[in-house]
Amino acid sequence: MTTSQFCNRTLNTDEAKILVSAQTWFNDSFPAAITKSRAGCLYRALAMITAANEHGHRWVPQAGTCYWPRLDEDQDDGTNPHLQFGYAWSPDDPRSKQATLNGYLPEIHVWAGDPATGMIIDPTTGFFPAQCQALLGRDWPGTRPPTVFWGGPDDLPARALYEPHRDACLLAADRMAHACTHFRC
C-alpha cells in the first residue's frame, strides 16, 4: 500500500519515511494491549513525533478537542444532532478530573504538530468510524476520514476541528514521558 492510498495527500519522500518509521517504532515499542486502548492516539502521536525527530524534524504533541464530520453536508437534513464525532477537552468535568487524578487521560485527542509548517499530523483519524460505533453506537454514513491526516487547517473537511489547548498539550507531553519510562523510547 502506498502512502497516498491511506493518507489525505501524497507524501514526499521524507514524510513517507517518517510514516513508515513511526509505524515500525510503534509496533516495536508498545504491547498489543496498549495499541487497543482508548489512549491509542497518545502512543501513535508519540511514535510520529519520535520518528520525525529521528529524521531531523522537531514535532510537538498537540492535544485538546478534535471533531470529524460523520455525515457529509448533503446528508445533513437539519435534524440529526450527531453530525460529528470526536473528543472534547473538558478539564473541569468531574470525570476528567478523576481520570487525570488516577493517571489516565480524560476525554481528549492527541496528535502531532509541526511548528515549522503548521501541519497537523494525526495517525488515528482512520479509527474514528469504529470508535464512533463502539462508543456511541452510531454508524458513519459520510465520507470516511483518511487513515492518517497530514495537512494544515485549510486541508480539513468542512466541520472538522483540531483545537489544541495548552493544559491538554502539557498533560499529553507528561503522559508521553511517562510512557517512555515503561516502554522503548
pLDDT in tens, 96-137: 999 888 888 899 999 999 999 999 999 999 999 999 999 999
Separation of alpha carbons 141 and 75, rounded Å: 8
Instruction: For the chain, list the domains and their CATH numbers.
Output: 8-182 (3.10.550)
Give the pLDDT confidence score for residue 5 in this predicted structure: 47
Alpha helices in the chain (DSSP H): 13-29, 32-35, 40-54, 94-101, 128-136, 166-182
- The pLDDT-based confidence of 71 (bands split at 50, 70, 90) is very high
What was the pLDDT predicted at 185? Answer: 53
Q: pLDDT band at residue 35, thresholds of 50, 70 and 90?
A: low
How sure is the predictor about 6, in pLDDT bands with cuts at 50, 70 and 90? low
**What are φ and ψ of residue 61, in 5° steps?**
-70, 140
Q: What is the pLDDT of residues 148-177, one digit of tens each?
A: 999 999 999 999 999 999 999 999 999 898
Q: What is the pLDDT of residue 37?
A: 60
**Above 70 in pLDDT, residue 23?**
yes
Q: At what angle do helices 40-54 and 166-182 cross, to 10 degrees?
A: 80
pLDDT given at position 80: 81
Backbone φ and ψ for 38, nearest 5 degrees, come out as -65, -20
- pTM across the whole model: 0.90
Computed over every residue of the chain, the mean pLDDT equals 89
C-alpha cell at 182: 515503561
